[in-house]
Structure formats: structure tokens, C-alpha cells
Structure 1
Amino acid sequence: MGKIGIVFFASLLFLLIIFPSYCYAAITKANPLSIGQTLSSPDGSYELGFFSPNNSRNQYVGIWFKNITPQVVVWVANRDKPVTNSAANLTISRNGSLILLDEKEDVIWSAGENFTSNKCHAELLDTGNLVVIDDVSRETLWQSFENLGNTLLPQSSLMYDTVHGKKRVLTTWKSDNDPSPGEFSLEITPQVPLQGLIRKGSLPYWRTGPWATTRFCGFPQFDESYVSPFSVVQDVARGTGTFSYSMLRNYNLSYITLTPEGQMKIYWDDGVRWMHHLTLPEILCDLYGACGPFGLCVRSVTPKCICLKGFIPKSDDEWRKGNWTGGCVRRTKLSCQANSSMTTQGKDTDVFYRMTNAKTPDLHQVASFLSAKQCYEGCLGNCSCTAF
């Protein structure tokens, strides 16, 4: 009897140790994912399971980098509705949708789509993409890469489709301990060429500047020597655009995240620790409209605003107080503004002032001129054109 008791105790202890790290190959109706269990990508880079931010009582289904400390969560399913008890299952519904059920079998979260096939399974790919696949056709019915949170991984993308009124954006967590959507979002705009834009609520907060073949122009980090990991595809005729990024150098893992404070940060894993690659915005000068119309922000230890040549502060009093958002106004009107009936009069008196290290204005337009001289003459002859 003593030997039997020892064997039973050892077996029970073994089960208690391995149960929390038990890994499924796939999620099905017959094999749901429960609290304490995880699903790993085939190469072991990513892991899907339940987590609690800051050891709170709230449980969320998320994806994170496996075996990396501290834990970096890159996607959350039930952002708005955490599990608040000790039992829950992530499973496939009778209609083929990925759903999260609580202990009473009530739906906490759903992928939001029902499919005609009831023979489906969910698996986690080596890219970190959670997908629902039809077992018969092998078609991907749903994927987390098309339902982003606050993080962009290589092979995932931001997008817009103006014809169908669709866009894919990043949204911040409300705080580091609360993955529900915060007030900042990151998107790409349908301008030509497109640019990246962070919004605070509905208002512009920061922008990249327009895309210029291999990089975004308009700020010091992206000069001609910068090896850009970014990729942009824009189809003006179809009204679509995508933004993605690739691995840089030989780093195996990386991510772009949008923080609760509204900063876009890029990290690469060198095998030992996370390497910080880029943070934007960084200072006052990076913020949208920090110096107002025709104002220029001087990047220094203490950033400040100045007016462009030929302009003066709109309000001297506000300018002295350090409130620069009102911007600047012209000292004198342009010749074409003084006599709007003569659209070419400005050619004789109006001139352009060359500027360097300045971001292209937000409301830019692409003009089909063959040379810089033609662009100069075309802009000078158009009173609504203020720079080129």
C-alpha cells in the first residue's frame, strides 16, 4: 500500500506541474482552450493563452512572444470584456466562428463572423497570426491580422479601402494594465502619396509626412541613409493602400506598438533583449500643428516656434506666452492676393524662400510637372499654391 501511495502522489504532482503549460496543436469544438492552457506556433515564437495584466483578477485571451521576459502581448481578443471568474473556454461555435465562453456558456467574445462550414479549427501561425481554417477547403475564414489591436507584426498591415469604406488601424490600450481601446489610433491616409497619422480621438496628433518611394519624408530620423523596413503599396485607381514592415538585419522578432500615451515605438529582439529602434513622436516639434499655420518648430533642448520668413505671429500676446498653435500670418499679401483678377501678376513680384529640414505640409497635392522649373512656374502662377 505504501508503494501505491507514493506512485499516486508522484503522478498527481507531475500532472499539476505540466497542466499549466499544456499546448494544443489546434483549437476545435472538441478541444477548446481553457484557462491555464496555451497554444503555440509551430516554431515556438508565439503563444496564445489567457493572461492577467499586472496580476489582476481580469483574464484576457491574448498572443505574446513565447519564452521572452517581460511578457509582451501583441494581440488581445476580448479587449472590452475580461473574464472575471476562474473558468472560460476559447472554442469553435457550431457555425464555425471563434468564440470565448464563460463558465455559464455565455459568449464573452466572438470573432464576429459565422461561416457555412462547421468543420473548422483555429491555429497560431509562425507569423503570430491566429487563423480560423476550413478543414475541407483549407480556406482561411478569419485571422487576427485583419483585426488588429495596438501592435503591428511583420506580415500584418494597416490599410484603407475608400470604395468599400474600410480601414485597418492600431488602437492603444487604455493603460498598461487595461487593454480596452484607448484614445489614440494609428492609420494611413488616402492622400497621394499616403502618410501615417496618429489621431487623439478624432483629431490629428502626429503624422509621418508623405511616402517617398522607400521612406517617409519630413523628419530627421528618415534621411537618405536610413535603411527603411517599411513598405507601402498604394493603388489610386482602386482607392486602396497598405502599410507594412519587414524584419531589419538578422533580428528574428520585432514589433511596432502604439502606447497609451500616443507614441509609436519599434522594437527588435537581438536574442538577448529588446532593442529600441524608434519612437515617434518624441518632442513638441513632432506634434501635429504644434506651431500653427506657417510656423516652424526649432528642434533643440527646449523646442520653440518661429515664423517662416515673411510672416509674423498672429497674436504677439499668445506667442510670448508660449501658446504657438495660432501660428503666423503674412506681413504683406501676395501680389496675386492683392489683385485676384490677375492670376499671373505674382510672377513679377512674388518669390519663394528655400527651406531645408522641414516636413511637407499636410494638405499636399501631387502635380505632374516634368522639372523643378516647371513646378516653380506652375506654383508661382497659382495663387492657391503656397509652396512646392
Structure 2
Amino acid sequence: MGIDIMGMAYLYILIISLQHCRAADTLTKDSSISLEQTLVSANQVFELGFFNPGNSTKRYIGIWYKDIPERKVIWVANRENPLSVSDTNSSLIIVNDGNLRIQDGESNIIWSTNVRVQFNETTAKLTDTGDLALNDTVSGSILWESFDYPSNSLLPGMKLGTKGKTQGKNLLTSWKSDDDPTTGEFVFGLSDEQPPQAFIWHGSKPYWRSGPWDGGKFIGIPEQVSGYASHISLMPENPQEGAYLVVTNKYNSYDIRWLYLRPDGVLHLNYRDDDRNKWNFTWRAPENPCDVYGVCGAFALCTNKSSICECLTGFVPQSKDEWSKSNWTRGCVRQSELLCDDENSLTAGKTKPDEFRVLKGIKVPDHHYHFPNTDTNECQDLCLSNCSCKAYAYVEGIYCMVWKEEDLMDIEQFSFGGENLFLRVSYVESGKCKFLLSSKRVSINFCSCSQFMFLEDFVYEPNKILGEDTQGAELLISLTTIGGVLLLGGFMFCLYRWTTYKKGKQIYLVIISVNGEVYIYFDDLQRENTRLYIGKKP
């Protein structure tokens, strides 16, 4: 009999212990979390409790991945109102009105869920996804959850969007420092435009940009194509929640991936390195100087070369002095006037229409206008017919994007991936003009399309003279030699014909172009459509 009583006592203790284990992920009105206690999710994935980061003298309640030595706190409740480490009687409780509350040793409210609870019967549960949920035990509904109030991390199951239960934009906000969870200087979220882009903002200014979403990837993140950032996805726009960004565990529940915004504004896609039982990352942004928003200023391309910035075709530095000092922030300005901008030429029909130069493998600029119901030709015509249109792109899944009033900003040349950007340029800058004569001091070139003759300094800007047709030093020497001979012949011809001119006859200069003989009358040299530059440029 004594043995039976003893056995029943052991059984009772075992049952109570098992019930306690099952309840370790849940907080009720009859329990609390003090300094040395934690909630642990059912499968031991996440843990919630008090912590003080680094050498901080402040104390917080947060959630972190359990059983990984390098603790990464993914959510903080009272980040704006910390406790003092000297307060040893702080606790997390469910109060009589059903809300979850952090209170200090003097029962002052430090933080609260502060929601309306109809029946005042609630429990708080930490799930295996890392979500702390306040549940109504009568209706079974979720009244509040930490996933709707992200800190510096985006976990699988969380939604980072333009709308949501909080009736506002969900954003990741960096810590002020590794030892201070207070809201820092950097914010990560989605833009409201269509299609959406992901941004890191430094205060109110863009710091990094993902490029628009094409239905399968952000076109400004080439690593999504290679798989390194493929866990980042976007759910499409809907009336209830808008569009929202998510992180997916593509392979299995043990393949843990999550986005983490560091205090310095760098966004990491973290994963668990099981071999070393620590955190590592597969992708981060900004990764290099060209990833930083607008590092080269307007109308410039960032290339990751030794001099990372260069002006787009048809543009020159706004300040050559600043540009030479590697200060690119002022960007570039257009060098050759567009036909739309030249009312005299437009009215008189004196010049050829504007053209497009294609830039390949590009992160397209910011501030696009979206025209989803157009094909490639319609997209080009749409841009060409609008004098304010500066460029267009046609991307599968997005269709037509055009850039109009705003400057072309934040353009990057990728080493792989990227899109084709069609940049609007004057016909002179289109690459269809052929250069004819050149010498060491003076070059004469002829643009057959617009019937201009130019005499330009060749010593200081040979690359500009030769444009993209140059094939290196050999071509340069050949053109210089041929140009010198032709220039001498042209001079002798002009001298010969001068006597005829003295007799009152109209004289013309013949220049041999790739399209045959072209006759330019000397009287035309004084017209406004002809530019004459001799000697060095100022």
C-alpha cells in the first residue's frame, strides 16, 4: 500500500512537470516572466526573456533564436523605454484587462500591448515562427502579435508592406548601435509606387534601392537570379494588405533565413551555419560603393571601375573641377541639345530626330512612370513623342517604364544581370555620325545626318572626337595620317578656288564622306547650324 501511494506521488509530480513543460511557451494571468525566466517555443526554436545588450546598463524584453551561442535578438518590446539593470523586480505579466504588460519593480507601466479585449480572457504564446501572439481564449482570435510591429528583423511569416493590421506601413528600423536597441538612423521598407521597390532610407533620404519588382525578382538585385538572395519575395497588391515583402524558407523549415538591418544601414540575409553553429549571410546590401543611392549624382553611371563614375552618353560633368577630385555628387548635364529643346531646328526641320542609345546590364534609374499595357514599340513611341521623356526600358513582367520630369538618378552597371535602358540623345550623340578628317592640332568631322561641318580641338579630347568607333591607338594614328593628307588637299583646293570666288562666283568645299561627296558652300559656314572651332578649347 505504501508503495502504491509512493508511486502515485511520483506519477503526480511527473504529470505536473509535463504540464509545466507544455506550458513553457505560454503566459497566462496566473504566471509571469521575471528576470531569470523565459518563454520557449514548443520546438525550442525561439526564446523570450529579459536581456541587456553588450555593456549596456539598460534592460529589455526581446525574442531571439534559442541554442545559438551568438545571440541575435530579432524583436524588442520596450526598445524606446528600457528598464534599469538595477531594477531586479521587473516582470512581464497579463493584467486584468487582458493586455500584456512590462512593469518595473514599482509596478509602473513600461510597455503594454494596449488593445481592446472584449472578455478579458487572454494568453500570450511564443510560436515556433518567432511570433509572440496575444490570444482571446473565448473567441480564439489573435488580438495582437509582435509580427505586426517589427524591430530590425524580418522573419519567415512576417509581412513588410504598405498596409496591414496596423493601418500603416510596416518597416524595419535599425538599432542605434549594437548595444542600444533604441530606434536608429536607418529604415527598410517598400515604396508605394507600382511596381514597388524596396528601399533602405537614411533618415528621409534613400540610401539603397532594389529596383522595381518584375513578378519574380527585384530587377536591381542581380543576386536573386543567381540564388543568393532568392529567399526574398514580394506578394502582389491586394485591397486588404497592399503589396508586402516576405522571406521564405524555400527548402525546409530547418533552412533558417531572415533579413537583418544593421545599425550602419547594411541589410543582411542571414542563415544558420550548422557546421559552426553560428550566423552567416548569403547576401547583403549595399555591397559596394555603387550600391549606395545616387553616389554618382544625376545622369551618371556607376561602374565599379577605378574611377567609379562616368557621365552617360551625351552628358558632361556639371563641375569638371569637382569631378576630377572624385566628388561626383553634382552629377552630369546634357552636352548636346535635344531636338525637342531646340524650337528653331524643330520648326525648320533642320536636324534629324532624337535617337536612343542602349545601355546594357543596367540597374534602371529611380522615379519611373509605369505603362503596363504597352509593347516595346509603343513604349519607344511613348517616350519619343514626349519632349520631357529622357529614357525608357521594357522589362518582362513589368513592361513599359519611362523617365520624364525627374533627373536620371541611381544608375549602376552590373557585372551580370541587369536590364537594357534606352537613353534619349540628340542625333549627333547617337553614334550614327561619321568622322572624316583629323590632325594632331585640328580635326574636321562631318555628320552626314545634319549637314554640319565641325573643326574641333583634337589634342585635349581625342576620345570624344572618335566616340565609340575608336578601336585603339592604331585607328587613331591611321585617322590622323589620312586626315592630315586630306586636310592639306582641301587647303590647296580652297586656295585654287579662291580666285574664282574673287570673280564673284559661288564656291563650295567638297568633303568626301562615307556616303559620297558632300558639298558645303562657304556661305553656309556663317549660318547658325554650323559650328567652327579652331585651336585649343578654353
Superposition TM-score tier, normalisation by shorter sequence: 0.7 to 0.9
2:137 aligned to which of 122, 135, 138? 135
Q: State whether residues 369 and 375 of structure 1, in contact with CA within 8 Å, keep that contact through their aligned partners in structure 2.
A: no
Alpha-carbon deviation of 1:229?
1.6
Alpha-carbon deviation of 1:111?
1.9
Alpha-carbon deviation of 1:61?
0.3
Q: How many angstroms apart in 2 are the aligned matches of 1:347 and 1:61?
A: 70
Q: How many angstroms apart in 1 are the aligned matches of 2:350 and 2:48?
A: 64
2:287 aligned to which of 282, 286, 289? 282
Partner SS for 1:100: strand
**Residue 265 in structure 1 maps to residue 268 in structure 2:** yes
Structure having the higher helix fraction is 2
Q: How many angstroms apart in 2 are the aligned matches of 1:239 and 1:31?
A: 35
Matches within 5 A, 1:73-222: 73-84=73-84, 85-161=87-163, 166-222=168-224
**Structure 2 letter corresponding to 1:67:** D
1:11-32 Cα offsets, whole Å, 9 max, x none, are xxxxxxxxxx998331122201
Match of 1:42 in 2: 42
Percent identical pairs in the alignment equals 38
Matches within 5 A, 1:272-351: 272=275, 273-300=278-305, 302=306, 304-339=308-343, 348-351=352-355
Q: How many angstroms apart in 1 are the aligned matches of 2:41 and 2:350?
A: 64
Gaps of 5+ in 1: 1-20
- The 10-residue stretch of structure 1 (273-282 or 205-214) with the greater mean CA deviation from structure 2: 273-282
Q: How many angstroms apart in 1 are the aligned matches of 2:180 and 2:168?
A: 26
Q: How many angstroms apart in 2 are the aligned matches of 1:340 and 1:219?
A: 44
Q: State whether residues 55 and 179 of structure 2, in contact with CA within 8 Å, keep that contact through their aligned partners in structure 1.
A: no
1:149-201 Cα offsets, whole Å, 9 max, x none, are 00000010211139x96100000000000000001000100111100011111
Partner SS for 1:353: strand
Alpha-carbon deviation of 1:108?
0.8
Partner SS for 1:222: helix
Partner SS for 1:318: helix
Alpha-carbon deviation of 1:314?
0.8
Match of 1:7 in 2: none
Alpha-carbon deviation of 1:211?
0.6
Alpha-carbon deviation of 1:236?
7.0
Alpha-carbon deviation of 1:132?
0.1
Alpha-carbon deviation of 1:238?
6.8
1:47-94 Cα offsets, whole Å, 9 max, x none, are 001111115332110000001111111100010122111111111122
Match of 2:431 in 1: none
Q: State whether residues 35 and 49 of structure 1, in contact with CA within 8 Å, keep that contact through their aligned partners in structure 2.
A: yes
1:332-388 Cα offsets, whole Å, 9 max, x none, are 221112239969x89942111111122111111211454212211221111222111
Q: How many angstroms apart in 1 are the aligned matches of 2:64 and 2:27?
A: 17
Alpha-carbon deviation of 1:41?
0.7
Structure 1 segments of 4+ aligned residues over 6 angstroms from their partners: 224-227, 236-239, 340-343
Q: How many angstroms apart in 1 are the aligned matches of 2:344 and 2:201?
A: 37
Matches within 5 A, 1:18-37: 24-37=24-37
Q: How many angstroms apart in 1 are the aligned matches of 2:210 and 2:127?
A: 31
Partner SS for 1:268: strand
- The 10-residue stretch of structure 1 (256-265 or 91-100) with the greater mean CA deviation from structure 2: 91-100
Q: How many angstroms apart in 2 are the aligned matches of 1:180 and 1:112?
A: 20
Q: State whether residues 345 and 351 of structure 2, in contact with CA within 8 Å, keep that contact through their aligned partners in structure 1.
A: no
1:81-121 Cα offsets, whole Å, 9 max, x none, are 22111111111122222110111110011123232231001
Number of equivalences: 366
Specify which structure has the bigger relative contact order, considering alpha-carbon pairs within 8 angstroms and separated by 6 or more residues: 1
Match of 1:56 in 2: 56
Q: How many angstroms apart in 1 are the aligned matches of 2:239 and 2:148?
A: 23
Q: How many angstroms apart in 2 are the aligned matches of 1:44 and 1:238?
A: 33
Q: How many angstroms apart in 1 are the aligned matches of 2:297 and 2:350?
A: 25
Q: How many angstroms apart in 1 are the aligned matches of 2:289 and 2:228?
A: 23
Match of 2:533 in 1: none
Q: State whether residues 23 and 38 of structure 1, in contact with CA within 8 Å, keep that contact through their aligned partners in structure 2.
A: no
**Structure 1 letter corresponding to 2:362:** A
Q: State whether residues 229 and 283 of structure 2, in contact with CA within 8 Å, keep that contact through their aligned partners in structure 1.
A: no
Q: Cα gap change, 1:235/1:342 in structure 2, threshold over 3 Å: closer, same or farther?
A: farther
Q: How many angstroms apart in 2 are the aligned matches of 1:341 and 1:347?
A: 6
Q: Cα gap change, 1:118/1:373 in structure 2, threshold over 3 Å: closer, same or farther?
A: same
Q: Cα gap change, 1:90/1:226 in structure 2, threshold over 3 Å: closer, same or farther?
A: closer
- The 10-residue stretch of structure 1 (373-382 or 172-181) with the greater mean CA deviation from structure 2: 373-382
Which protein is bigger by CA-based radius of gyration?
2
**Structure 2 letter corresponding to 1:79:** R
Normalised by the length of structure 2, the TM-score is 0.64
Match of 2:256 in 1: 253
Q: How many angstroms apart in 1 are the aligned matches of 2:120 and 2:139?
A: 12
Q: State whether residues 268 and 283 of structure 2, in contact with CA within 8 Å, keep that contact through their aligned partners in structure 1.
A: yes
Match of 1:384 in 2: 388
Gaps of 5+ in 2: 1-20, 393-538
1:199-223 Cα offsets, whole Å, 9 max, x none, are 1111111111101111111244234
Normalised by the length of structure 1, the TM-score is 0.88
Q: State whether residues 214 and 231 of structure 1, in contact with CA within 8 Å, keep that contact through their aligned partners in structure 2.
A: yes
- The 10-residue stretch of structure 1 (237-246 or 76-85) with the greater mean CA deviation from structure 2: 237-246
**Structure 1 letter corresponding to 2:191:** T
- The 10-residue stretch of structure 1 (221-230 or 112-121) with the greater mean CA deviation from structure 2: 221-230
**Structure 1 letter corresponding to 2:295:** A
Q: How many angstroms apart in 2 are the aligned matches of 1:136 and 1:157?
A: 27
Alpha-carbon deviation of 1:249?
3.4
Q: Cα gap change, 1:267/1:387 in structure 2, threshold over 3 Å: closer, same or farther?
A: same
How much is the aligned-residue C-alpha RMSD, in angstroms? 2.6
Q: How many angstroms apart in 2 are the aligned matches of 1:66 and 1:48?
A: 9
Alpha-carbon deviation of 1:271?
2.4
Partner SS for 1:376: helix
Match of 2:246 in 1: 244
